[in-house]
Every structure is written in C-alpha cells, then in structure tokens.
Copies of this chain bind each other. A is one copy, B any other.
C-alpha cells in the first residue's frame, strides 16, 4: 500500500509537476507514430491542462456576452497569460483556429470540454462535514455543472442523516457501498489531518481514483490514483515568504538594514 509519489498541489500556484507525466505513459516503447487521439491527450503537459480549465471559464463568460470569435491575444489577456503560451496550449488539443481571424468561441469550448472529460458527469463525494465540508457541500453541484456532489460522509453519528446542502450525510463506514451505488469518481477529503490517510485508503478501496485533498497531510496512494491537494497553510506561507522578500528588498533599496532589522 501507498506508493511514494508526488502530489500536485493545486492552490498556491506552483507547479510541482511530480514524477508523473512521461512515466505514467504506457511502458511500451511504442514504435513510432499512432498518436490516435488518446495518445495526443496524454501528451498534454499538466501545466497546460490546468490552464485549459481557465480558458474554458473565460470562454464561457465570453460566450454569454455574445462573442462569436476571439483572437489568441484577447483570450490570453482575459486569462492572464501571454498569447504565445495560449496558442501553444491550444495546439496540444488540435488546430481549431482560423489564421487571420481567430477562434470560434463555441468550437473552442466544445473541444476543451471534450479534452477535459467534461462531457461526462463526475459524481463527487465530500468526506468530513466540518466547516470546510459544509462550505463545499453547499456549493451544491460544484463549479458550473458537471460535478454534482452526490455523497457526504462523516464519522460523527450525530451528523448522519442530517441534510447538508440538501443531501443527507452518510456514515463513513458506508463509504464503500455508497460510493459504488452512486458511482462516485472524485473524492474530496475535508477531514482533520489525522483522519485523512484512513479516509483516503477507504476511498481508494471503494474504487475512487481521483482525490482532492484539503487536509494538510501528504497522502500515500497507489499509482493508479490521482491526488491533488489544496493546502491553505502552504499558500499562506508562500505569501509570507513574499512579504519577507519584499521587506528585505525595501530595506536594501531605500534605507539600509539595522542589524538585520528593517527600520520602519
């Protein structure tokens, strides 16, 4: 149990690409060509995948405002990246633009959704109905459709049966059965740190292959399970680092340091 692998940290903006990518690729040497759609998808860099999700959101907003086409420049600006990167990212999923014109918003939306697997519904289970769990459950049908929250779990017997965001909480011991019944494909861990690994093991046992982990714990999972984590402490500490760097810079630039202490 518990293969030792990197865990992509979602928030915080770093890209701990982790030893995945190429490795995960089929162990077969693969003679030469045969990109075959599936192969092409596998070749998309993790970093680009995350950005595609952002483009998708921006495109949806544009579509709502009636936009028919966008140039890479416009879309890039709206998404906060430069246009070269955007075009490169889009090139990973195919050539859907028209030179001299731009991209059709509708086409791009469709293609990105297809690549991200959003044409299929992904049932989400939230484990740990504390403050955060409550908040997540109440998103009720997570970000923009496609991710219905269809199961809630907690250890606390007092919570079992209580509806949160319209869905009654189940006991964690039923996780395997319930996840199977409701075809949960994504598990969200919002438990206290000590419970996280156990919950994770149970989710994996229940057949869940993708986990979003909010607990400040490094989860050990088998190779076939994908984990992403959201770590508030890390986020804040990275920001803290930048505050510190800034303070140092300021001290170095205008004034000078006084025995290592910045004069205010």
Cβ A10 vs Cβ B13 within 8 A: yes
Q: Contact check, A235 vs B241: say whether CB atoms are below 8 A apart.
A: no
A243 located at the interface, meaning its Cβ lies under 8 Å from any Cβ of chain B in the complex = yes
> Given A26-B249, A236-B143 in contact, is the A11-B231 Cβ separation under 8 Å?
yes
In the bound complex, what is the Cα–Cα distance between A132 and B50 (angstroms)? 22
Given the known inter-chain contacts A50-B14, A117-B243, A134-B131, please indicate yes or no for A38 contacting B248, CB distance below 8 A.
yes
Q: How far is the CA of A247 from the CA of B185 in the complex (A)?
A: 12
Known: A117-B244, A233-B53. A218 touches B78 (CB 8 A): yes
Which one of A6, A12, A144, A210 has the greatest number of beta carbons of chain B within 10 Å? A12
Cβ contacts A210-253/B at 8 Å (1 or 0 each): 11100010111000101011111111111111111111110111
Which residues from chain B contact A118 at a C-beta distance below 8 Å?
237, 240
Closest B residue to A14 using CB positions: B50
Residues of B within 8 A of A115 (CB): 241, 244
| Closest B residue by C-beta to A54 | B234
> Are B243 and A50 within 8 A (Cβ)?
no
- Number of A interface residues at 8 Å Cβ cutoff, please give it: 97
Asked if A120 lies at the interface with its beta carbon under 8 angstroms from chain B, I say yes
Of the residues B138, B237, B260, contact of A116 by C-beta under 8 Å: B237
Q: Is the CB of A13 within 8 A of B49?
A: no
Select which of B14, B56, B131, B216 is within 8 A of A15 by beta carbon: B14
The answer to whether B58 touches A218 (Cβ under 8 A) is yes
Distance to closest chain B CB from A27 (angstroms): 11
**Are B237 and A53 touching (Cβ within 8 A)?**
yes
Interface flag for A96 (CB, 8 Å): no
Contacts of A243 in B (CB 8 A): 117, 120, 122, 185-186, 209-210, 226
Nearest Cβ on chain B to A129's Cβ, whole angstroms: 11
**Given A6-B81, A218-B80, CB of A116 within 8 Å of CB of B240:** yes
